[in-house]
Amino acid sequence: MSQWVDYAAHANKAWSASKKSANNTGVITVFPQLALMAGLRKRFAPGNTPLLSWTFNLGGLYGNPKKSVAKFALRSVDHFVVHSRQEINSYSNWLGIDSNRFEFVALQKPMAPIKFSEDMGRPFVLSMGSARRDYRLFFEVMADLGYPTIVVAGAHAVEGLHKPNNVTLLQDIDISQCLELVQKARVNVVPIDNPVSASGQVTLLDAMMYARPTVATHTMGTEDYVADGETGLLVNPCDPVSMKNAIRDLWNDQNKRQHVGQQAREYVKCNLSDEVAGQKLGEMLDMLEDRYKWPG
C-alpha cells in the first residue's frame, strides 16, 4: 500500500506541474503503476492534457477487482508504448481499449564497453532474473548436461525447486557483479514461463549488447529481438530437448558463439539506441499534439 501511495504522489506532482506550466504540457509515465495513477488523476480532472504511457509492461493479466480498476483508470491514457508486438492485442483485449492506442517500440539498450571476456579457464552457463522464469525446466536441463551453472535469482523464483549439484545460486549481488557474470559466461540462458506478457527482455538485451551468445524461450518477450540462429537461439516453451540442444550447440562451438555474439551486439547498436527510441517518442508526441489541436 505504501508503494501505491508513493505512485499516487508522483502522479499528482507531475499533473500539478503540467498545469503550472506556461506552455501546453503533457505527461509521460514509465511503467504501468504510474500510468494507472496518472490515468486515475486524469479521470477526475479531465482537460486538454495528453497522457502517454511508455514501457507499459504488465507482469500478468489480472482478474477482478484489479482488472476493473485498471480498465477505469487506463482508459484515459491516450497512447501506450509496449516493447513486444504481441502485447498489443493482449493488453487491448484485457482492458477493452482499441489496439490503435498501443504501439510497439523496441526496448532501448544504450551501448556500453565490453570489460570482460568469456572465462575460458572456468566456463559456465548463466541464467539471471526472477520475473516469470522457468527455472524448473532450466534445472532439469542443466542437471542432464552437467555444465557448471550460475543462477542469479530471488528466493521466490526458485522456491520449492530441486537445485542440481552443478548449479550455484547467487542472491543479493549488485548490478556490476551481474554484468561481469553476463560477460564472462560461455552461454547466457533466459528461460521464460509467461504466455500473456513480456518477461526477460532486460536480461536478454544485456547479454546481446555485451556480445554474448544467448538461448531464450521463444515467447512474446524475446521473439521481437532474436533472429534465431543469428542474434541468439530461440527454443520452444516447456521443451527440455530444444533447450538442451541449443545450450550444448553453443557450449561446444566457439566459432558459433563468437558469430552469434557479434551479430547480437551489432543488432543492439543499430536498432536499440536511445536515438532510435527518441525519434519514436518524438513522433508520438507530434501525433498527440495534433490530436489535442493546441493553439500555436
Give the domain extent around 265: 125-271
Question: Which residue matches cell numbers 508513493?
Answer: 6
Q: What does the pLDDT look like over 254-274, one tens digit per residue? A: 999 999 999 999 999 999 999
Q: At what angle do helices 254-271 and 201-209 cross, to 10 degrees?
A: 110
One domain for residues 155 and 91: no
Q: Kindly tell me the number of DSSP H helices and DSSP E strands found in the chain.
A: 11, 10
Taking the C-alpha atoms of residue 10 and residue 175, their distance in angstroms, rounded to an integer, is 26
pLDDT of residue 61: 83
Per-residue DSSP letter, 1? -
What pLDDT, on the 0 to 100 scale, is given for residue 77?
A: 95
- Is residue 114 domain-resident? no
Say yes or no: 228 and 288 in one domain. Answer: no
Are residues 278 and 266 part of one domain? Answer: no
Q: Note whether 267 and 130 are same-domain residues.
A: yes
Q: What is the mean pLDDT of the chain?
A: 93
- Between CA 6 and CA 244 the distance in angstroms is 44
C-alpha cell at 257: 558463439
Task: Identify the band that residue 58 occupies on the pLDDT scale cut at 50, 70 and 90.
Answer: confident
Residue 115 lies in a domain: no
Same domain, 148 and 240: yes
219/192 Cα distance (integer angstroms)? 8
Would 54 be classed as within a structural domain? Answer: yes
SS (H, E, C) 55-85: CCCCCCCCCCCHHHHHHHHHCCCCEEEECCC
Q: d(Cα 149, Cα 166) in Å, to the nearest integer?
A: 6
Same domain, 21 and 156: no
Do 62 and 179 lie in a common domain?
Answer: no
Q: Is there a single domain that holds both residue 9 and residue 45?
A: yes
Nearest to 171 by CA among 185, 150, 187: 150
Q: Are residues 192 and 99 both part of a single domain? A: no
Domain count, the chain: 2
Whether 120 maps to a domain, the answer reads no
Q: Is the pLDDT of residue 295 over 80?
A: no
Residue 256 maps to which CATH number?
3.40.50.2000
Band (24; pLDDT cuts 50, 70, 90): confident
At 173-222, the pLDDT tens digits run: 999 999 999 999 999 999 999 887 788 999 999 999 999 999 999 998 89
- DSSP code string of 243-261: HHHHHHHHHT-HHHHHHHH
Same domain, 163 and 257: yes
- Is 118 inside any structural domain? no
Q: What is the pLDDT confidence band of residue 46, given thresholds at 50, 70 and 90?
A: low
| 158 & 257 share domain | yes
pLDDT at 23: 72
Residues 138 and 185 in one domain: yes
Cβ neighbours around 276 below 10 Å, total = 14
Answer yes or no: is 117 within a domain: no
